[in-house]
Chains A and B, each alone.
Chain A
């Protein structure tokens, strides 16, 4: 599979269609892992790999906030279906235009969050949690596709994990999240890994007024985690990078998916599917339901 990818990348670079390819590369010191790499020289496309260890969502590198790939010239990005959803969302949010980017889509049967789990075969056990409900195993949009098209997962219930959470009483849920957020060390890895956290000055860094207290007071942790989740409501594409990078193992994607379900139910909207769709929380409609205002 890596071979097909390398051929596409070489051609794009040689023809000058792009100046940089954002992809995954091997880690020499640890063969179980892959890492994000930027390839600008056609002779170095051999570095590119594609396998179930390629878990990172590379869309994060497309915005100025994280790494200004755009400054290197026109970019091609290697992207799984979930990554393409993030790209679609970023186009919708006007961070770049579709014409500025070549998407090398990869057909994906799932990835592993820990590379050592995959030793040549994907199973129900080692496949990552986020891949259980995947309906974009073939990316919804791409310029080149690596591999054969893969049909979406036929999940019985797209929101099984969320429903389990919802079965708890509000008190139990509150306690559950309090317990989770108590462990937060406010390293902001979740923010750094998220393609949608592209603000150059995060609300967490604003001091006048200070929206979120600094330090690891439980109240401050709660404020950060709620604000993070709310800022992503209706935008998060559930790629699960925040949860993967969290050093203390907070199930952040579960919280994201809870909000995504609310948006799906209340607004009939799923993020990352259509760059032309109006985002539900950034749309003014006279006919919006206001019955809850009393």
Chain B
């Protein structure tokens, strides 16, 4: 016969106001198998926990039901208390009489009746609870950080400074990401590269960091604490150990007309190149698609002029494998292309803005390059068409963002602030120029952000027009901006010399592939999903994988850096122990009755189900069955539902336990 204790919590008035806790405890005492029942004002308090511990010892309880709040709140508290009293913690369950009962009822009779039912249900379940032992898995104390933008750099540095090894993966030839392209940063107007490059240099020289640039993630295998990652190191065609970074090859390369990715097409680069002068590592790569030697088999000018002899035309891609314990995903964002709809995209373009057809309509990232001292104009305001200084510039916000018609409903968050910054930078460079900003709302939440906006309006004379722009077209060397000013209720037409569009922030175009490789969830826009929007914003649903930066949602630099440090702290927390403890509430397969249809394997979101061979003593295959990897299983229960022969059980939530609960209710 079971010996179960029931502990009913008042939670002050939270439960007590709509549930007669004393009556619930009284009724619970009558349930067969319940040998102890009491109620108390705050069960989670020290005296409350002491009551549970005392009852376990005095009454020799073999099961505990705490009728209180959601297990999300205090299950850990009570299980710990139960364990301290010498009982297996998984013999304790919570019955949620707060969120599921007192908070949703007004009548004390209704509330009490339901609370009694909820307690009865949980008592019947606990009768069938089995002692469980947390699963222990070893940890490889090395982290992989995917993405070498500011978020990835910060996460890598924090982990490395915590004395753990880091592999920093970047697919471009240099780390730095979008931040390295920016001119100045809001709200302080300090130079982006000036604050970023010291961190880049630190990454390159840090003894704990293995930097893999021009490399991409191929495959992720394994589970928390024990991932195996395969990385493709793309052939640079340059020997990194020999190259001195002198740059002669870039000067001599006869190909000069390739639009620079770093300058967003505003300048040209050779076929052998580093993206920008402060690149880390400062070793060029040969762009095989545009290199004359790779196309025609002749040229090798770079090889001829390379003093140290670092050019390697025969270099091939290399696959390297690492064991890592944790992964930080910091793959960043991409910018919405307002021109033609990109192939494969579900998001419509902005043909009416003439981007790509009108040279003086540029996007925000191009403006950053134009305003940057390291940019194609060395920071001088020159419009792309004729190099003239633009005297009237229109900035258009929310191009794509908050626009369900174009397929993007969310706010890109950073554009309000960078557009203010753009207008301000422009006014600082062209004192007699006019800057107009078309906006929907000015969203300037953030430390010193609103002050920054006011400064632009009041001190720098930036003109804000609340309304949308319907059309841009070229006329007499000007770009005519037709839009509305909804505050004065008039149509506006501005003959601008240059127009800057604040394009929506999108997920990386291949973010879904990356998510699938790593096994993490993403939303319909391709941004990676956090475990909990408020209480676990850095974690993913896959244990051991963390998020940093704009790959999760549009973020500005301070937010990306803060999240990166958060992710790093999570990684270091994991690495502080030698073995990880995992919840034992995982799926187990009954190998006798499994018929190997592998519906479980197909449906498992965590790739936790494997095929297992059952062999006889002589090693002959008897049959295949499915097997749940306990390191990977998250206990979601999908396989249990999919199994037609009911050969999978979720420990702690077995069919029998659930039946007992239902039957208790049906009594």
Contacts and interface: CB of A to CB of B under 8 A. Distances in A.
B240 interface: no
A286 B645 CA distance: 26
Contacts of B598: 93-94
A103 B74 CA distance: 60
A64 B605 CA distance: 29
B644 A203 contact: yes
A200 B592 CA distance: 9
B642 A199 contact: no
A287 interface: yes
Interface in A265-294: 278-279, 281-284, 286-287
B655 A209 contact: yes
Nearest to A198: B595
A45 B593 CA distance: 37
Contacts of A209: 655-656, 659-660
B655 A201 contact: no
A52 B660 CA distance: 51
A47 B133 CA distance: 61
A279 B595 contact: no
Interface string A83-118: 000000000011100000000000000000000000
A202 interface: yes
Interface in B495-539: 521-522, 524
Interface residues of A, number: 24
A15 interface: no
Interface string B599-615: 10011110000000000
Most buried by B among A203, A208, A281, A282: A282
B638 interface: yes
A156 to B, nearest CB: 35
B646 interface: yes
B347 interface: no
A199 B595 contact: yes
B616 to A, nearest CB: 15
Interface in B574-599: 592-593, 595-599
B603 A282 contact: yes
A278 B597 CA distance: 12
Nearest to B660: A209
B644 A284 contact: no
A206 B646 contact: yes
Interface in A36-86: 64-65
A287 B524 contact: yes
Contacts of A65: 595
A139 B273 CA distance: 59
Interface in A167-214: 198-203, 206, 208-209, 211
A201 B604 contact: no
A95 B599 CA distance: 12
Nearest to B624: A94
Q: Which of A65, A278, A279 has the most CB of B within 10 A?
A: A279
A231 B644 contact: yes
B522 A286 contact: yes
Main secondary structure of the interface of B (DSSP, over half): loop
Contacts of B660: 209
Nearest to B516: A286
Contacts of A198: 595, 597
A200 B522 contact: no
Interface in B632-667: 638, 642, 644-647, 655-656, 659-660
B605 A199 contact: no
Contacts of B646: 203, 206, 211
Contact of B596 (A94, A201, A211, A286): A94
Contacts of A201: 592-593, 645, 647
A231 B595 CA distance: 14
Interface string B136-147: 000000000000
A64 B594 CA distance: 12
A283 B645 CA distance: 17
Given A202-B645, A203-B645, A287-B524, A282 B595 contact: no
A283 B600 CA distance: 9
Contact of A199 (B524, B645, B659): B645
A17 B470 CA distance: 72
A94 B659 CA distance: 31
A282 B599 contact: yes
A199 B645 CA distance: 6
Interface string B204-242: 000000000000000000000000000000000000000
Interface string B347-391: 000000000000000000000000000000000000000000000
Given A93-B597, A94-B596, A198-B595, A282 B642 contact: yes
Contact of A94 (B597, B603, B644): B597
Contacts of B596: 94-95
Nearest to B515: A286
A59 to B, nearest CB: 15
A279 B599 contact: yes
Contact of B645 (A94, A200, A208, A287): A200
Nearest to A203: B646
Given A209-B655, A211-B646, A282-B642, A200 B593 contact: yes
B172 to A, nearest CB: 28
A123 to B, nearest CB: 39
A65 B623 CA distance: 13
Given A203-B644, A283-B603, A284-B603, 12 more contacts: A65-B595, A93-B599, A94-B596, A94-B597, A95-B596, A203-B645, A203-B646, A206-B646, A211-B655, A278-B602, A282-B599, A286-B605
Which 5 A-B residue pairings sit nearest by Cβ, starting from the closest?
Answer: A199-B645, A282-B599, A209-B659, A201-B593, A282-B602
Interface of A: 64-65, 93-95, 198-203, 206, 208-209, 211, 231, 278-279, 281-284, 286-287
9 contacts: A93-B598, A199-B595, A200-B645, A201-B592, A203-B645, A279-B599, A282-B597, A283-B602, A284-B602
